[in-house]
Structure 1
């Protein structure tokens, strides 16, 4: 998810997205612990997206 897409979302949508991204990250991490993923770069991509969404939420709270 690109930063421009994240900025367009409302605060409620961002909170929902953050929850679902964290859940999918946890699920992928567990799956990777059991057997290696075909593309372990998915973990990095989701982790970075979580950081982007979290940063945008923090930015909105401070304004």
Structure 2
């Protein structure tokens, strides 16, 4: 997910997407511990997406105040 796509989202949409990404990360990590993933870089991409979402969410929250 690109930063430009995230900035166009509302705070509620970002929070929903953040929850979905966190669930995806936990699912991927568990599957990777059981048997190796075909593409282990997916874990890194998911973690970075979560970080992007958190950063932009915090920026939007600060801009509202």
Sort the TM-score into its range (normalised by shorter chain): over 0.9
Question: Deviation of residue 43 (structure 1)?
Answer: 0.3
Q: Stretches of 4+ moved more than 6 A in 1?
A: none
1:8 match:
8
Deviations 1:27-63 (Å, cap 9, x if unpaired)? 0000000000000000000000000000011111112
The number of residues matched between the two structures is 63
2:59 match:
59
Consecutive unaligned residues in structure 1, runs of 5 or more: none
CA RMSD of aligned residues (A): 0.5
TM-score (norm. length: structure 2): 0.94
TM-score (norm. length: structure 1): 0.97
